[in-house]
Amino acid sequence: MDIEQVKERAGPREFSPKDDLPEKYRKAATRMIQFHANSEIMGAYLERPFIREAPSLDRKLAFSAKVQDEIGHGQLLYRAAESLGIKSREQMLDELAEGEGKFLNCFHYPLDSWVETPMIAFFVDGAAMRRQATLKQSSWEPYAHAMDKVCFEEGFHVKHGEAILYELMTGSKAEQEKTQEAFETWWPRIIQFFGPTDDKSTHHDFSADVGLKTMTNDELRNAFLNAYIPKAEKYGLEIPDEPRIRENGDGTYEVEEDDLNWDEFFTIAKNDSPGSHEQIGKRSRTQEAVEWVRNSMDDWETKSAGASPQAAD
């Protein structure tokens, strides 16, 4: 097929590895899914310390399960990207460790305290659900199928984060104040989760034309604000004065996008901030630490090639 034929056929779950797709589609889909997979992995790295630092056994178990889920989502998505035939899973993981692989802005910042955990587990995961639900209609069938599992599990993650937020905002005055401070720090980052404004987005038009995406960044951002501003207020959080939020008189909201720090956002998007270097370094160091396992498995596969399982053992 050529690109025009792809655009004509584009629809939910329309294309699979059996289709002879043009390189432009396969590269665009690989870029998009690799970004998503990287973000799942880096989100897990961000929350992993709270497996030990969580204040109760139940919370430790929940964070352990959540981190396992996120790593699993990443591996599932790397396979969906790999099926496009542009990059291997190993290539994509190496690019992430080497600082070439891009990932979501929110995962470039550290989580320093327990009161910050619902900023990811409730608000960022809630934003992710807004986006990921639309990707169940993606034209690349393996991606859409992966989203069925991802969205099911992310729904539990959001409930987990909401439960933590409820505990904090019904706790002591000090807990409430610290949670409000964390919210004020994270709120602009969360609003930027969906990426640059539509007029600055370089990939949306083509991705929409070939059915990889169904909603623009601004549409997703506004849908998130409409759903989550009432939820934040329900738990007693005050929406910060900056960035300014417009209430449209019909229960819907929009952000004054000029109030957001887009220079910082685009620096982060290039993996070129101190926080980016620190987070990428964690991934790189972990990959180096387990290199001996990969080498041992490669050696075993080489030595046992062509042998029966019993003989290989």
Per-residue pLDDT tens digits for 113-123: 999 999 999 99
- Name the least confident of 2-6, 23-27, 200-204: 200-204
| Fold (topology level) of 3-312 | Ferritin (1.20.1260)
**How confident is the model over 39-68, as a mean pLDDT?**
95
Rounded CA-CA distance 220/54 in Å is 31
Tracing tokens 């990207």 back to the chain, one arrives at 81
Average pLDDT for 146-175: 97
pLDDT at 240: 95
On the question of pLDDT at 308 being above 80, the answer is: no
Residue 61 backbone dihedrals phi, psi, to 5 degrees: -65, -40
Please give the model's pTM, rounded to 2 decimal places. 0.90
Q: What's the pLDDT score for residue 17?
A: 96
- Token digits of residue 56: 């109760």
Using CA atoms, how far apart are residues 252 and 217, in angstroms rounded to an integer? Answer: 16
SS3 80: helix
Beta-carbon neighbour count of residue 297 at 10 Å? Answer: 10
The pLDDT-based confidence of 70 (bands split at 50, 70, 90) is: very high
User: What was the pLDDT predicted at 310?
Assistant: 53
